[in-house]
Structure 1
Amino acid sequence: MRTRTHERGSTSVFAVIVAAVLMALAGLCIDGGKVLNARATLTDTAEQAARAGAQEISVGSMRGATRISLDTAAARTSAARHLTASGISVDSFTVATTGQEVVVTLEEDVPTTMLRIVGVDSVHVSATGNARAAVGINQEES
């Protein structure tokens, strides 16, 4: 019976490659779940903050006007206050108002656990929520 000395150790190389691939897949699953969870949380928080801002209707626009408009300063303050009260930590946020709409954008870098092995320390996540001020049940879209 002949022994194959030139193939000696090939199983070890194969095992190392398979282990590395399995670790990368585990990293994608674990860290991918963290990123998806962070994105869902940011989206929900951005939408809630936009709704809080959209409730700040200008009193002057409600009296005798055909269209309502937002009190932009109060809308931005209310949205920022909601973000602070929510307790989540974000790297940056912006609150923009245009006419009847409030747009809140949140950004965060989610740290990874398993993907650090391959050099990915964090994943950047961005979420946007918007809300439109509305009064009554038959308001026209503009």
Structure 2
Amino acid sequence: MTRALRSQERPPGTVRRGMALPIVLLIPIAVMFWGITADGGNNNVYREEARDTATQAARAGADEIDLDYLRTTGIVRLDPAAAETAAAAWIAATGHTGTVAATVDSVTATVTIDQPLSLLALTGRESVDVTVAAAAAPRTGVTEPGDLGGT
């Protein structure tokens, strides 16, 4: 017999076990890596949705200008109560939760989205909260060429 054939011969009754342990260890590691990749990608989607909602809510609040003050002084400022109401209504319309704070100068909206986990739920955690804040200020119209709007 040739040397290659002799090296493959085994005594009767022996079993080849060389790959069982690495495969058993590799499968859970691969599943965890897949879970981190999938849920991490979903996290980016939920974060962008929260950012969009917070930005739009802040902008909706920044539209609530105190018109009486503007007419008497010529200065643009927000009506904080109306701004908070408008921003909170925008957040509520999206079905998300959040908080709103407004001053005469700006509106800040914070939105929280509960992101369900798919594969990482196997670790015992069903979801994670994604929270993003955005602010906006009232803008006036164009006042000179090249101006995109000022305060």
Question: Which of these residues, 128, 136, 141, is aligned with residue 136 of structure 1?
Answer: 141
- Of structures 1 and 2, the larger Rg is shown by 2
Q: Is 1:83 aligned with 2:65? A: no
- Give the number of aligned pairs: 137
Of structures 1 and 2, the one scoring higher in RCO (CA 8 A, sep 6+) is: 1
CA–CA separation in structure 2 for the residues paired with 1:9 and 1:72: 72
Distance 1:73 1:137 in 2: 27
Gaps of 5+ in 2: 1-8, 144-148
**Structure 1 residues 20-58: Cα deviation after superposition (integer angstroms, max 9, x where no partner):** 111011101211121111110010011001100000000
**Seq. identity, %:** 33
> Structure 1 109/9 Cα, relative in aligned 2: closer, same or farther at 3 Å?
farther
Residue identity matched to 2:98: F
Where does structure 1 lack aligned partners over 5 or more consecutive residues?
Answer: none
Amino acid of the residue matched to residue 26 of structure 1? W
* Equivalent runs, 1:101-112 vs 2, <5 Å: 101-112=106-117
Structure 1 segments of 4+ aligned residues over 6 angstroms from their partners: none
Match of 1:36 among 44, 55, 80: 44
Aligned-pair Cα RMSD in Å: 2.4
Structure 1 length-normalised TM: 0.83
Secondary structure of residue in 1 paired with 2:42: helix
| Structure 2 Cα separation of the partners of residues 103 and 9 of structure 1 | 62
